[in-house]
């Protein structure tokens, strides 16, 4: 049975735009930047177990035991990454009335020669799929917008400016608006999302005042432990599956 889409929210303050990236996993329009999960210890353990497996005689009992250990390492990596994605997507679906994201061609990005390993480990496809599902479950409007130019365009005046990946601040040569590169992109994503559902911001509210000045940088560990990327008091049970 098909479900009716959620009604567009009446309160724009309950809307958020999310830009996913490499240096930070997610950056939203409320000024929260969530770091990627640190799985270095798990990867090191996996590499050790794989080296040990390569030294075992194929088909022996010791080989089979070691093969199971390698499989357990892979499963542990998947579990911890997915736990992070579940809790992050839960937070956004429950905290907001509308969530806007980029309609990313993840497969095309993964096939490109640059940043493929980082992009693959970020599991953007899984995050966006979980987020869309949970927004539907919570009655939250989920909007995927055209990603073209979200990083280049000025969120304040719309002028497009090319900038290489290493430039992390947006500075508009036309209006002088300055913001974190990802924050600027997140605001463009939200603006497009609101346009798609027919919700707009008040003309008296400029993007300079709407965008947070400071960024609350949150580690992935805090998301997993507390279930929330913000400073609000949240319990793990409040964001459990």
- Among residues 28, 42, 102, 180, the one annotated as catalytic is 102
| 214 catalytic residue (yes or no) | no
- Among residues 19, 42, 49, 180, the one annotated as catalytic is 19
> What's the DSSP call for residue 34?
E
Is the pLDDT score of 230 beyond 60? no
What mean pLDDT is predicted for residues 148-153?
88
- Among residues 42, 95, 180, 182, the one annotated as catalytic is 182
Dihedral sign (CA 51, 52, 53, 59)? positive
> 18 or 35: which carries more pLDDT confidence?
18
Cα(140)–Cα(147) distance, rounded to whole angstroms?
21
| 10 catalytic residue (yes or no) | no
Quick check: 86 and 241 in contact, CB under 8 A?
Answer: yes
Contacts of 96 by beta carbon, 8 Å cutoff, 6+ apart: 14, 15, 16, 140
122, with CB counted inside 10 A (0-12, 13-18, 19+), is buried
| 182 catalytic residue (yes or no) | yes
> 209 or 41: which carries more pLDDT confidence?
41
What does the pLDDT read at residue 30? 87
């Amino acid at each position: 049975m098909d479900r009716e889409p959620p009604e567009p929210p009446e309160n724009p303050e309950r809307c958020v735009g999310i830009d996913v990236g490499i240096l930070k996993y997610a950056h939203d329009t409320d000024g929260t930047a969530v770091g990627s999960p640190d799985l270095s210890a798990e990867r090191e353990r996996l590499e050790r177990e794989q080296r040990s497996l390569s030294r075992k005689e194929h088909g022996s009992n010791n080989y089979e035991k070691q093969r199971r250990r390698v499989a357990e390492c892979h499963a542990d990596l998947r579990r911890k990454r997915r736990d992070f994605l579940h809790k992050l997507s839960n937070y956004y679906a429950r905290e907001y009335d509308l969530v806007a994201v980029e309609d990313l061609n993840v497969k095309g990005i993964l096939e490109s020669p640059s940043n493929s390993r980082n992009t693959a480990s970020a599991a953007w496809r899984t995050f966006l799929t979980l987020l869309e599902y949970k927004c539907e479950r919570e009655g939250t409007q989920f909007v995927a917008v055209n990603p073209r130019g979200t990083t280049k365009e000025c969120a304040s005046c719309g002028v497009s400016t090319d900038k290489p990946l290493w430039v992390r601040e947006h500075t508009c040569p036309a209006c002088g608006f300055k913001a974190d590169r990802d924050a600027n992109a997140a605001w463009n994503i939200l603006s497009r999302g609101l346009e798609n559902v027919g919700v707009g911001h008040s003309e008296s509210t400029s993007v300079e005042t709407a965008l947070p000045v400071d960024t609350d940088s949150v580690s992935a560990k805090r998301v997993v432990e507390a279930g929330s990327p913000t400073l609000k008091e949240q319990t793990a049970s409040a964001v459990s599956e």
